[in-house]
Amino acid sequence: MPEGRQPILELQGITKSFGGVEALRGVDFALLPGEIHGLVGENGAGKSTLMKIIAGVHTEFSGRFLIDGAETHFRSARDAHAAGIAMVHQELSVAPDLTVAENVFLGNQPTNALGLVQWRRMAREAGEQLSRFGIDVDPMSRLGDLPIGLQQLIEIARVLFSGARIVILDEPTSALSPPEVERLFTTLRRLREQGTAIVFISHFIEDILRVSDTVTVFRNGRKVTETASADTTKGALIEAMIGRGGEALEHSYSDDLILPRPSDSSVVLKVDQLSLTRSLQDVSFEARAGEVLGIYGFMGCGQQELSRILFGKLKPDAGTLIVEGKPKTFASTAAARRAGVALVPESRRAMLFHQEPVFKNISISILDRISSLLLKPAQEREIAKRQVEQLQIRPPVVGLDLGMLSGGNQQKVALAKWLTYPPKLLVLCEPTRGMDVGAKNDVINIVRDLRARGLAIIVLSTEPETVLSLADRILVLKRGAVVREFKNEPVSKDRLLEAA
């Protein structure tokens, strides 16, 4: 990049820790005006933490923070905003019930002398701004009625046109279709010409290479490299992200792992041409008894929707589910459960009853097997005790409220619900997310044991390690479509990331 220009933003030796865990260790970061700066790294590498410091969300950290060469300390996100820094977060933060125009002007609607909103002016200006962005919508339509990708573009447009000098985009393209990504990039390049500095965080390395001038790679809270985008490749970036030579603490999966020969046991689930608006396109695959099928993809690739469809929580727009040779349309999750499908979603909160004792959490899904009319609490406790022993849930007290257990033990309870009368198909979303190494290993062993008992298991994860440690066969999901299947061949973290 051109030398000699004064950085608009400069961070020196930034260290930030959360409860004793260092999220950032002595990071230097500089942003030039008129630059698009790409940021890559695995989940938890420290990208988001750094951006939240810049946006004034995290205010406690050590290190120097300079804007236009002058040392600054933000006390809130409001301070950052006043300094011309704006951020688009990964999760949509729009008001779906307001109009497009209101969303564009959220917080600073044009008003007349009486303080009343000037609707006509607002609609006109919103329309003009959006059409400069290539978005052609009626500014007075309700935002929530538009497709998700368009909503995201409108949110990005709002931030880009807010007059900010520094714009941070966190995973802006995950919900966008290719033409929408194109429009976004065109606008970003135009803003760059006007001197705006843009930070672009993405898992999609091709996107980063296409649009950014400079790329910085983070790993384990450190800045690993910073290079001009023109001088690097996807492979080199992936290597920098995951690091060669293993971190010793945990299997790093940087080396090739040989997947076994595909199983020829009976097909438990066949998914045929499954589609869901904006989430899934013609997804087809089979899951076999005694086999773990891993489905890997980035956040927002459609995994979540897929798992919900398999468990009858979402209805697909098209496509069929065939369970043990019979086509099924699940009217409810209860119907899916009766057909032998079980789901452990990624959020423990969504699947457990925190204010109820452990044994009620374990028995809830099998109550109809142990009692027809009257409850049998003694038997419930007995079953729960067996599961608690088998899965080594700590503390081993079935009468304790679930909320008193640690996260890893809660995750085991979430599994235990389904194990007394094992289902035919077990769908696990992010089964080891946020767990320490010991709990992770326990879960891996439980899953292997279930596979040995002949269950068909589907593991969906955004973490390559999770999929690699569990799966016999791996599908890669990208923007709602299956783009690659790994079977009976070598696979590694690089190869997975490359495919996604």
Residues that bind other proteins (CB under 8 A): 311, 313, 332-334, 336-338, 342-343, 345, 349-356, 360, 364-365, 367-368, 371-375, 395, 397, 400-401, 403-404, 417
Backbone CA torsion sign across 451, 304, 89, 232? positive
Residue 48 near residue 244 (C-beta atoms within 8 A): no
Cα separation of 153 and 160, whole Å?
A: 10
- DSSP β-ladder status, 166-170 and 70-71: unpaired
* Least distance in angstroms from the C-beta of 323 to other proteins: 14
Number of Cα atoms under 13 Å in the Cβ half of residue 108: 7
* Least distance in angstroms from the C-beta of 315 to other proteins: 14
* Least distance in angstroms from the C-beta of 358 to other proteins: 11
* Least distance in angstroms from the C-beta of 338 to other proteins: 8
* Least distance in angstroms from the C-beta of 18 to other proteins: 11
- 121 vs 376 by CB, closer to other proteins: 376
- 44 vs 262 by CB, closer to other proteins: 44
> How crowded is residue 497: how many other Cβ atoms within 10 Å of its Cβ?
22
- 261 vs 394 by CB, closer to other proteins: 394
Cα separation of 186 and 326, whole Å?
A: 49
* Least distance in angstroms from the C-beta of 309 to other proteins: 14
For 362, residues 6+ apart whose C-beta sits below 8 A from its C-beta are 380, 383, 384, 387, 388, 398, 413, 416, 417, 420
- 20 vs 178 by CB, closer to other proteins: 20
- 82 vs 375 by CB, closer to other proteins: 375
- 104 vs 429 by CB, closer to other proteins: 429
> How crowded is residue 452: how many other Cβ atoms within 10 Å of its Cβ?
9
Burial letters for 230-250: b for 16+ Cβ neighbours within 10 Å, e otherwise? eebeeeebbbbbbeeeeeeee
- DSSP for 137-181? --TTSBGGGS-HHHHHHHHHHHHHTTT-SEEEEESTTTT--HHHH
Q: Does an H or E element contain 286, and which?
A: strand 280-288
- 345 vs 480 by CB, closer to other proteins: 345
* Least distance in angstroms from the C-beta of 269 to other proteins: 16
